[in-house]
């Protein structure tokens, strides 16, 4: 019995300590006061989503038509890393970059990139911040016949243009003099700015990763004596390579140089853009933008907090009025549950959104549901004449299977929502699923320990009064 009471006391102390840590970490709760541990605690602020903090959301669609289906996932992961590095160079606080797939059941799959920039409300600045990171490509010469056809098409096009004839771009001209290879900026490890020791002209030196080095070695080995063209941001308006060196021998070191008559400033900018990441997809198109002002986000946050507080007060009031002493115990366990959830949100960097707060509030109902099942089973055992501790033990044992099954079904639902849902749904699913797991701990462990620590035995009038139900006395 004493071990149980010591355990209950430790639970209360730990819960109180974590609650104080949450209090110390929020300056608004103790403005003008010096609180012990606040310097440490304030290093872990709540991570708020865009809908609560304000900012800009940009939705991009990636063109992956030229990428092999098996490599699309790796390309999108690489794209996300590129954009994250690009944003981080501007010092944006806690940016969120997510990949999302649209369609796929009745139509083609669209690969989308969702970028959230908290604290930034200027859409133009946000778009410029992400920018169009360079698309680096390596291409090899076409066959002699194809090159001849290309040169003839160029001459004919120029002649038609000079003669004022209607211009029709032939397929040979569109194809260009070079053939695309698999080697592109996705395989780039790093770029460096160097200077030619003779001419002092700036040179951009690039180093490939292991896979890129192997591809580069294969390309140069197969094209000795031919040119390998290096393109940057190739399109119809920019179809000239920035460099087309002749391959003298196979290059095995995974290193290449880009010489494009750059100024030092241009070369420096190019190095920075390449190191921030060359786009591993064909094109990145901005589909939509959404701006949420800081006051609107603060209003949504305050509304969510108010809803959570009222929900807790009403639920706690119901538990105490209807279940009396067990209701008080459940309220204490519920308070510890809320503190544990806030600790997880704060110290594990879980992003809180309005949908996430809704999931959290819903999980509170799951925690209460477990306690109600336990208390109802406990009352049935007390009616049979069992003592308090025996009734509580039987109540937990009989309620466990129902609690387990209902919570497992809720967790499965949360996993499905998180796996298939959009970013908004994922926020709800994460907090709801996490809340259900923690609520199982609070209902089965915390409530159990606190109830067993109660100094009541037998089946006397005091027990019947304290363990009664609502306005009815336990018989």
pLDDT in tens, 346-378: 777 777 777 778 888 888 877 787 878 888 887
Domain at 351, CATH number: 1.20.1640.10
Task: Say if 407 falls within a structural domain.
Answer: yes
Buried b (16+ CB within 10 A) or exposed e, 425-459: ebbbbbbbbbbbbbbbebbbebbbbbbbbbebeeb
Same domain, 238 and 309: no
Residue predicted with more confidence, 454 or 459: 454
Same domain, 445 and 315: yes
Task: Say if 441 falls within a structural domain.
Answer: yes
Same domain, 187 and 202: yes
**What are the beta bridge partners of residue 235?**
238
- Domain boundary (286, 321, 352) is at 286
Of 64, 115, 427, 50, give the one whose Cα is nearest residue 287. 115
Same domain, 329 and 215: no
Domain at 251, CATH number: 3.30.1360.200
pLDDT value at residue 178: 83
Same domain, 246 and 347: no
Most confident of the ranges 3-12, 96-105, 199-208, 456-465 = 199-208
Same domain, 310 and 458: yes
pLDDT value at residue 422: 67
Whether the Cβ atoms of residue 76 and residue 67 lie closer than 8 Å to each other: no
Same domain, 179 and 113: no
The pLDDT > 70 percentage for the chain reads: 76
Whether the Cβ atoms of residue 84 and residue 121 lie closer than 8 Å to each other: no
Task: Say if 375 falls within a structural domain.
Answer: yes
Span between the terminal Cα atoms of the chain, in Å: 27
Task: Say if 41 falls within a structural domain.
Answer: no
Q: How do residues 143-177 score in pLDDT, each as one tens digit?
A: 878 778 877 877 877 777 777 777 666 666 666 77
- For the chain, the residue count is 475
- Domain boundary (241, 271, 286) is at 286
Task: Say if 358 falls within a structural domain.
Answer: yes
DSSP state of 445: I
Task: Say if 35 falls within a structural domain.
Answer: no
Same domain, 91 and 225: no
322: exposed, middle or buried (Cβ count in 10 Å: 0-12, 13-18, 19+): middle
Q: How do residues 229-247 score in pLDDT, each as one tens digit?
A: 887 766 644 567 777 778 8
Write down the pTM of the prediction: 0.57
Same domain, 200 and 319: no
**What are the beta bridge partners of residue 254?**
none
pLDDT(60) > 50: yes
Cβ neighbours around 373 below 10 Å, total: 20
User: What confidence category does residue 107 fall into, taking pLDDT thresholds of 50, 70 and 90?
Assistant: low
Task: Say if 25 falls within a structural domain.
Answer: no
Same domain, 274 and 374: no
What domain count does the chain have? 3
Neighbouring C-alpha atoms within 13 Å toward the C-beta of 283: 9
Same domain, 160 and 145: yes
Range of the domain at 209: 136-286
- Domain boundary (286, 310, 341) is at 286
Same domain, 87 and 205: no
DSSP state of 37: T
Task: Say if 298 falls within a structural domain.
Answer: yes
């Amino acid at each position: 019995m004493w071990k149980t009471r010591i355990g209950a006391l430790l639970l209360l102390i730990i819960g109180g300590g974590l609650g104080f840590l949450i209090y110390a970490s929020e300056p608004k709760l103790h403005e003008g006061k010096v609180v012990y541990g606040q310097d440490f605690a304030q290093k872990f602020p709540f991570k708020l989503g865009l809908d609560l903090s304000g900012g800009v959301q940009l939705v991009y669609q990636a063109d992956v038509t030229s990428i092999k289906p098996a490599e699309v996932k790796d390309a999108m992961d690489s794209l996300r890393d590129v954009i994250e590095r690009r944003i981080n160079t501007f010092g944006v606080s806690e940016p969120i970059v997510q990949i999302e797939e649209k369609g796929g059941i009745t139509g083609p799959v669209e690969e989308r990139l969702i970028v959230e920039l908290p604290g930034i409300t200027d859409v133009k600045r946000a778009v410029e911040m992400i920018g169009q990171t360079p698309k680096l490509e390596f291409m090899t010469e076409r066959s002699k016949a194809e090159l001849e056809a290309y040169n003839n098409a160029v001459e004919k096009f120029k002649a038609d243009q000079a003669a004022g004839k209607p211009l029709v771009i032939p397929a040979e001209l569109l194809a260009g003099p070079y053939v695309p290879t698999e080697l592109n900026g996705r395989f780039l490890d790093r770029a460096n700015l160097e200077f030619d020791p003779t001419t002092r002209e700036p040179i951009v030196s690039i180093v490939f990763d292991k896979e890129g080095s192997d591809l580069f070695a294969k390309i140069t080995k197969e094209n000795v004596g031919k040119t390998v063209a290096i393109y940057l941001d190739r399109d119809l308006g920019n179809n000239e390579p920035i460099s087309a060196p002749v391959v003298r021998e196979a290059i095995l070191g995974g290193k290449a140089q880009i010489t494009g008559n750059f100024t030092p400033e241009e070369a420096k900018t190019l190095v920075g853009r390449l190191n921030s990441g060359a786009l591993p997809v064909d094109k990145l198109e901005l589909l939509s933008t959404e701006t949420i002002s800081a006051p609107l986000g603060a209003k949504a946050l305050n509304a969510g907090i108010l809803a959570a507080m009222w929900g807790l007060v009403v639920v706690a009031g119901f538990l105490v009025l209807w279940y009396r002493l067990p209701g008080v115990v459940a309220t204490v366990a519920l308070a510890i549950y809320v503190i544990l959830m806030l600790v997880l949100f704060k110290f594990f960097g879980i992003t809180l959104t309005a949908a996430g707060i809704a999931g959290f509030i819903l999980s509170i109902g799951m925690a209460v549901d477990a306690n109600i099942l336990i208390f109802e089973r406990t009352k049935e055992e007390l009616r049979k004449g069992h003592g308090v501790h025996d009734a509580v033990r039987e109540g937990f044992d009989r309620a466990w299977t129902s609690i387990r099954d209902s919570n497992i079904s809720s967790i499965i639902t949360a996993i499905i929502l998180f796996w298939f849902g959009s970013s908004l749904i994922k926020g709800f699913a994460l907090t709801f699923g996490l809340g259900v797991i923690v609520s199982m701990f609070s209902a089965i462990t915390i409530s159990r320990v606190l109830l067993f620590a109660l100094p009541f035995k037998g089946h006397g009038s005091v027990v019947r009064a304290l363990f009664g139900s609502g306005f009815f006395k336990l018989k």
